[in-house]
Structure formats: structure tokens, C-alpha cells
Amino acid sequence: MHRLPPPGSPPLRAATALGALAVVLLFLVTADWRPLISLDRSVARGLHRAALDHPFWTHVNRILTDWVWDPWTMRLLLALVVLWLLWRGDRIVALWIAATAAVTTAVQQGLKAAVGRDRPVWERPVDSAEYAAMPSGHVMTAAATCVLLLWLAHGYGVRGAPWRAALAVAAVSVAGVAFTRVWTGVHWLTDTLVGGLLGLALPLAALAAGSAHYDLRARPPKTATSSGSSSSASGRQRGQDTTPGSSSS
């Protein structure tokens, strides 16, 4: 049976570390710490010049950020997964995923309003975005979605090469959408860093906080047997267990 790990597990420690780092970055940005603000501006100016000089790659980045890794694309993906889980009868898992995604979105929008950071402003913009800059909603949503889907895939027994491929896709997606947001000039570097850290930390914290046990794999159907046959089968099993050198698969 697949189960959510109890408090004190590695997901909780990882969530605590990632969340603490995000809080530190948030504090430094709101305190207008010069070295970090200078880094933001330097990276933004450099990538904006590159975006103007390479319109083809700017177009590619806009497609990736506006369609492939757009928050609504990620939410639609999670909605389809939730519907599939409900169809399978895994209601608790479906509700847990939906609730975690909803809380992540609420935290994201609340922080944007609280911090109120302005986005970069350019004489020749290559893209546009509305509302406050920090944290990046694109990056935060992509990171949270990847954590939830990876957890679900692991619960269904994905291992080996498919698991490594899923990890690679998740890493490329989170790093990729962060790059597109800075390349297109709508976010500062630290916006994407805080978004990524919180997008990883929140679902990990929700995962670690769970105490219920969830069976994410299809259970074999139970067959009705008479009490006599059940006792006989139980006796045979006990006999096998007491046989020297015997083992169960």
C-alpha cells in the first residue's frame, strides 16, 4: 500500500529547507538588498538584449511560456488527473491533489499582493504580463504540478528508466519556464527562484503532513471462498512458512 509519509519524514525536511530559502530571498528583495537587486537587473538586461537580437528564439520562448508551460496548461493537466482518479475511485487522492493545487495558487496570489513587486519595464518589450511580479506564477505552478505528478507516478510503481525520464522532464520544465520568464522580460531572476522554491515546498509540505494511507494501485478483486477452503488455504500457507528454506515472493 502506498502511503503519505508521516511528519518528520524527508519530504517535510526538504519542504522546510526550500521554504526557508524562499523566505530569505523574499526578505532580501523586500529589504532592497543591493547585491541581489543588482544581480536581478544585470541578468534581466543581458537576457533582454539577447531576446531583441534573436527574435526567432524569443518567439520559441513565447510559445513555451504561453502554451506549453502556461499555468492554465498545468492546471488543466492536474484537472484531468483528478478526474481520472475520481473515475478510478481514488477520491481521497483526487481531493488531496486538488486541494494542494488550490492552496498553492492562493499562496501565490496572496504573496503577489503582499509584496507588490513591479515587473521589469523596457522601451522595446518582447512580451507583456500583468499583476505583481513576485513570485512567478508560471514557475510556481509548474513546480507544484511536477511534484504532484511525480508523487502520483511513484505511487503507481513507476521506476527505472521511465522514472528517470519523468524526473528529467520535470526538471527541464521548471528550469525551462523560469528561463522563459526572464528571457521574455516579464520577471526578475529572483521572482522565478522564489516561485520555484515555493512551488516545490508547498506540495512537499502537504505530502508530509498527510497521515492517512492511500492505496494508489489497483487492488486485485476479492474472490468469495467458503470458510473450509479458507482454513485449508491458511493451513497450507502456514505449512509453507514453516518449511526450512521456504520464502515468499
Whole-number pLDDT of residue 242? 40
pTM: 0.83
Whole-number pLDDT of residue 215? 44
Domain map (residue ranges) of the chain: 10-217
Q: Is the pLDDT confidence value at 207 over 60?
A: yes
Q: Is the pLDDT confidence value at 107 over 80?
A: yes
pLDDT tens-digit map of 173-186: 999 999 999 999 99
- Percent of the residues in the chain that have a pLDDT greater than 70, as a whole number: 81
End-to-end CA distance of the chain: 16
pLDDT tens-digit map of 132-167: 999 999 999 999 999 999 999 998 899 999 999 999
Classify the C-alpha dihedral 99-103-106-108 as positive or negative. negative
Provide the mean pLDDT of the chain: 86
